[in-house]
Structure 1
Amino acid sequence: MEDRVIAENTEVSKNHALGGCSKTLGECTKSILPVRDALEVLSGKWKLPIIISLMFGNKRFSQIAKEVPGITDKMLSKELRDLEANELVKRSVYNTIPVVVEYSLTEYGFSLQNVIAVLRDWGAAHRKRIMGAE
């Protein structure tokens, strides 16, 4: 068991996908912070489905609500505000009668496309592995 303990400055596997985890446990700890930051921004049941909905184009509130089954208006409003605060979603108000409010992904929001594609592929493989379903 003692052999498995990793001290502060001991070598860690060089095959880690995270570049910062190649030398010391301290570097691994530093690599955890940005992952935690990303999860904080994207965590929860609704944020990724909202982002995915907006990847298919600009939408009004009611359109997003229809595309994200089960979300309440209150929760959708909260999640859109959070995504806007994190500069992933832009809220545009058009001075028409009636006033039109439209949501779109920012360029920064679109930077999540590859991350979401990898999560989608991993999720499909995991589902198949665990449940034997596609």
Structure 2
Amino acid sequence: MNQMKQILAKFNLLVNPLKLFTLYRQFDKLIKEQQNSYPQDKQSNDLFLKVDQVIYHLKRKKCYQVENLPNKANLVSVSKQSIDHALVICGGKNDGDINTLLQEIRKIKDIEVYQQIFDVLSENFSTNLSMKQLFSMLVSK
């Protein structure tokens, strides 16, 4: 729960503890149920995002497109359609840039909006990380 507080503190979010706990449990369940089989890089804190067939490397709060995924990588996969829908929920313009979504998410103050984004992104989500690993990587970015 401490890692969740660190993530939400980065977004300056004040929430009802019950809603926070519910979202936390949903996210934990999602990660456990939707694991992908891509080989994980246990030596690195680098996080890669695969949006359909486009690969991004998350560094310093920004996503940078890369040509290829390393043979081993810490990977989160989502669909472009989910990203676009999440942008609409955030109120951001859909310019096709994943960084726009990251910027809009940082502005959100309402846990209900996070719940809506979670619901949309969870439709086509997979990762090869545990929740603890993912949160620690996100907090360090």
TM-score, structure 2 as length reference: 0.28
Q: Rg bigger for which structure?
A: 1
Greater RCO, 1 or 2 (C-alpha within 8 Å, sep 6+): 2
Considering fraction of residues, name the structure with more strand. Answer: 2
Considering fraction of residues, name the structure with more helix. Answer: 1
TM-score, structure 1 as length reference: 0.29
